[in-house]
Amino acid sequence: MKYLITFIVISIITFVTINAKRKPKPSKKTTPPPSPPKWKNWNGTQPYSAKEIVKNATKLYYNKTGIYYNVTEIFLNQTRIINGTKRYRVKYIAVQCILDKEKESQKSGRKKKSPKKKKPQCSETVLMETPLQAVLRDDTQQNQLVLNVTNLFTEDSYEEIYKKTSKKKKRLKKN
């Protein structure tokens, strides 16, 4: 019995010392995903006009919220490419418009109907300037343009997807 206990104690000691000498397993190093590339300056004309991007972004914001803005200044044009998708960012300052109410005709009491949808008319503007940002994503793989407009003051963001029309090539018939 004495030998049995001694044998068990010695085997436990050797087991512990052998395990203690083992090198710890190196922890798996996880590499963080690469950060997106930095924005680069862009002239605001090619291939899309910064003014047109701002015009469409203001129209999109009006359609989604009913709040119309007059653009006062475009102060930043930038571009970058992520996964083959070109992105164009335009930051601008705008003032909120107080729109004219639809005028009622005095004779019939009915609202006037306009045959075309026109740009909303401002009667007044709010003095506070609002920073807005428009990002146009040119996704050539999916053949679409995505316009995202963000109010930088309230962080409200709206998006619209436009499908590009595919240009079909005419095949010439050989005689």
Q: Give the list of residues 6+ apart from residue 31 with CB closer than 8 angstroms, or none.
A: none
User: Per-residue pLDDT averaged across 67-75, rounded?
Assistant: 90
Rounded to the nearest integer, the mean pLDDT of the chain is 81
The model's pLDDT over 79-92, given as tens digits with 9 standing for 90+, comes to 999 988 999 999 99
Span of 128-137, 145-154, 166-175 with lowest mean pLDDT: 166-175
Average pLDDT score over residue span 19-23? 62
Give pLDDT, residue 108.
47
Q: Which domains does the chain have, with CATH numbers?
A: 40-101+120-163 (3.10.450)
**pLDDT of 26 over the 60 cut:** yes
Distance CA 57, CA 44 (A): 15
117 pLDDT band (50/70/90 cuts)? low
pLDDT at residue 103 above 50?
no
153 backbone dihedrals φ, ψ, rounded to 5°: -80, -45
Is 70 exceeded by the pLDDT of residue 126? yes
Which two structure tokens, joined as six digits, stand for 157? 């963001």
C-beta atoms surrounding 43 within 10 Å: 8
Residue 104: predicted pLDDT: 38
pLDDT at 107: 42
As a whole number, mean pLDDT of residues 145-174 equals 79
Residue 25 has pLDDT above 50, yes or no: yes
Predicted TM-score (pTM) of this structure: 0.67
Residue that has been written with the tokens 């019995």 in this structure:
1
Distance in angstroms (rounded) separating the CA atoms of residues 136 and 144: 10
Sorting pLDDT into bands at 50, 70 and 90, what band is 32? Answer: confident
